[in-house]
Structure 1
Amino acid sequence: MFTLAHISDIHLGPLPKLTLLELASKRITGFVNWHRNRRKHLFPNALIEVLEDIRLKQPDHLAITGDLVNLATKSELLSARDWLEMTGKPLDTSVVPGNHDAYVRGAYERAMGLWHDYVRGDSTPAVYDPERKLFPYIRRRGPVALIGCSSAIATPPFSAAGFFSPRQARETAKLLKAAREEGLFRVVMIHHPPVRGAAETHKRLVGIGRFAEVMQEAGAELVIHGHTHVNSLFWLDGADGRIPVAGIASASQGPGGHKPRAGYNLFRITGSPGHWHLQHERHQLNQAGTGMELTANLPLLPHR
């Protein structure tokens, strides 16, 4: 058995002090939103409870699908690197960026440089090269291939859209086909939900049709994402059958808000090529915010 834990939308806080230069950008809207809304419901203790419960389960790997930070300031990106190093080793932890990690121009490159060991594939050079495309990447861990895709781009104020490019679509299909030939269970990681209607228009994934075509052409066994801060399960048509697409609440969401409490997905993978079994558990912060509870436990593969 291979066990994969999945968290997303960490939004590490609190916000650092921002300079006037940092606020003279899209960050001013995020700054206002943080103080009016987000900070009221995102609690560090929620994230602590999530991570402690994951450690008790002793998963083989941890997948993080973006939005580690809020406004992508230099100090936030550095803090996120320190948090990653405390959370898990690069060998056992895979990350893809979210829109908040690429909040303004230049932030994406800084984040990828600082988090490089967590966002590079098995064959990617250890030294970060901003001219080299990091995504999609492939990481082989036991019977599993983790395919990391990036939908993170800097967007104008009041937009949180993502983008899945034609180049990334072509290369993702190649990686998925190669992993199938190797007999691996394929997990695709992306921040924005690649399902129509799963996110509001200003938060949607541009290129969602391309993603669907990749799944129909190359197939996969599981897609995981974040972005919406809700627990969700959708299905996409794939080359080898229907593919489960699982989202998860923000790992820092406290009780009492309008979004679901913090949680994580746990996937138990068994079987062999053509005969995979996938059991999905969802663990969620309890109403008191003092521990975790099991809120879902169901088989996803074989699909019935």
Structure 2
Amino acid sequence: MQPFRFAHLSDPHLPLEPDRPKGLEWLSKRTLSYQSWQRKRRHAHTPTMLAAIVGDIRAQGVDHWVVTGDIANISLAGEFQRGAVWLHGLGAGQDVSYVPGNHDAMVHVPFADGLGLWADYMTGDGQGGVAFPYLRQRGSVAFIGANSGVPTKPLLAQGALGREQMERLGDLLADAGRRGLFRVLMVHHPVADGVVSGRKGLTDRRELRDLLSRTGAEMLLHGHAHVANLSMIKGPKGPIPSLTVPSASAIGYRHDMPGRWHLVTVDTDGPDWRVQVEVRGVERRDGPVTALGGWTLRLPAAL
């Protein structure tokens, strides 16, 4: 097969200004999050850093883009509109795959005014509209997007897939495995224990790990934690790498890592898969985007 190269970035957190809650919007979880943006997060995420990361991805000439959530900050209408412009700037819907994060689903927003504006980036092959999980085959790679973004109570940033989505996900993973595809599962919230605290975790991650132990997958991609992490999840033929990438717009404020992204190259190694992961980003906020390291994995094929 021809090597397939894709970019994984996450948590761009586009600037909130000039938006702010209005009227009854103040009587929601948005109020605390708006205050958090004013106190801390507007200093932690900058368009300059995000532009540098995106520019570096373009320079590498990847075949596909994967963005694992949190374009928005407090789910205001203007954020979804500007998010649509930003996604379009990355590429056409067929070339960019997106899954929502908790900030994209902070409160309920009518689909047409919210996630519906990003539909081209979350629609599976042959689907007439957005339905999670979705599957997109690009070469020998199956990008499978699951939605863990759900509204939660104040001070919580948890996620959940739910039983119905989990059942459909099992069918997609099993079918893609039978077809010999390299299955990339995209979920905003990390699946491994300990990557984030309980109040930020995926509440049904044990159920998802149990599903993956039966159906398998070749790689999991996450955001949310704002730090880098590589964990291994039990699969039917061996460990499944679970990669979490820091925010693409972060400057390294307090405990967050500065902006990074992953360049993933999928190739064959005899009957199995050969996967190269190159970590690219900045070592300090005013430095250039460069290669920071990486690793090579040999993964058993599903068949």
Range of TM-score over shorter length: over 0.9
SS of residue paired to 2:114: helix
- Structure 1 counterpart of 2:219: 222
Q: 2:101 aligns with which of 88, 98, 101?
A: 98
Relative to 1, partners in 2 of residues 1:180 and 1:274: Cα closer, same or farther, differing over 3 Å?
Answer: farther
Q: What count of residue pairs does the alignment treat as equivalent?
A: 297
SS of residue paired to 1:191: coil
How far apart are the structure 1 equivalents of 2:121 and 2:299? Answer: 31
Question: In angstroms, what is the RMSD of aligned CA positions?
Answer: 1.6
- Structure 1 counterpart of 2:13: 11
Relative to 1, partners in 2 of residues 1:158 and 1:256: Cα closer, same or farther, differing over 3 Å?
Answer: closer
Identity %: 34
Deviation at 1:169, TM superposition (A): 1.5
Relative to 1, partners in 2 of residues 1:196 and 1:255: Cα closer, same or farther, differing over 3 Å?
Answer: closer
Deviations 1:206-251 (A, max 9, x none): 1111110111111011000000000110000112211000001101
TM-score normalized by structure 2? 0.94
How far apart are the structure 2 equivalents of 1:190 and 1:12? Answer: 20
- Structure 2 counterpart of 1:269: 266
Asked whether the equivalents of residues 258 and 285 of structure 2 are also in contact (C-alpha less than 8 Å), the reply is no
How far apart are the structure 1 equivalents of 2:299 and 2:187? Answer: 23
Q: 1:291 aligns with which of 268, 288, 291?
A: 288
Deviation at 1:111, TM superposition (A): 2.6
How far apart are the structure 2 equivalents of 1:205 and 1:108? Answer: 23
Deviation at 1:105, TM superposition (A): 1.7
- Structure 1 counterpart of 2:72: 69
- Structure 1 counterpart of 2:166: 169
1:201-280 matches, within 5 Å, as 201-271=198-268, 274-280=271-277
Give the counterpart letter for 1:249 in structure 2: P
Asked whether the equivalents of residues 251 and 285 of structure 2 are also in contact (C-alpha less than 8 Å), the reply is no
Relative to 1, partners in 2 of residues 1:227 and 1:217: Cα closer, same or farther, differing over 3 Å?
Answer: same
Q: Which runs of 5+ in 1 are unaligned?
A: 129-133
Deviation at 1:109, TM superposition (A): 6.4
How far apart are the structure 1 equivalents of 2:110 and 2:98? Answer: 16
Deviation at 1:255, TM superposition (A): 3.9
How far apart are the structure 2 equivalents of 1:177 and 1:296? Answer: 33
Relative to 1, partners in 2 of residues 1:288 and 1:102: Cα closer, same or farther, differing over 3 Å?
Answer: closer
Q: Is 1:197 matched with 2:194?
A: yes
Deviation at 1:20, TM superposition (A): 2.9
Asked whether the equivalents of residues 108 and 153 of structure 1 are also in contact (C-alpha less than 8 Å), the reply is no
How far apart are the structure 2 equivalents of 1:274 and 1:64? Answer: 29
Q: Which runs of 5+ in 2 are unaligned?
A: none
TM-score normalized by structure 1? 0.94
- Structure 1 counterpart of 2:91: 88
Asked whether the equivalents of residues 103 and 154 of structure 1 are also in contact (C-alpha less than 8 Å), the reply is yes
Asked whether the equivalents of residues 112 and 119 of structure 1 are also in contact (C-alpha less than 8 Å), the reply is no
Give the counterpart letter for 2:50 in structure 1: L
Relative to 1, partners in 2 of residues 1:276 and 1:254: Cα closer, same or farther, differing over 3 Å?
Answer: same
- Structure 1 counterpart of 2:152: 155
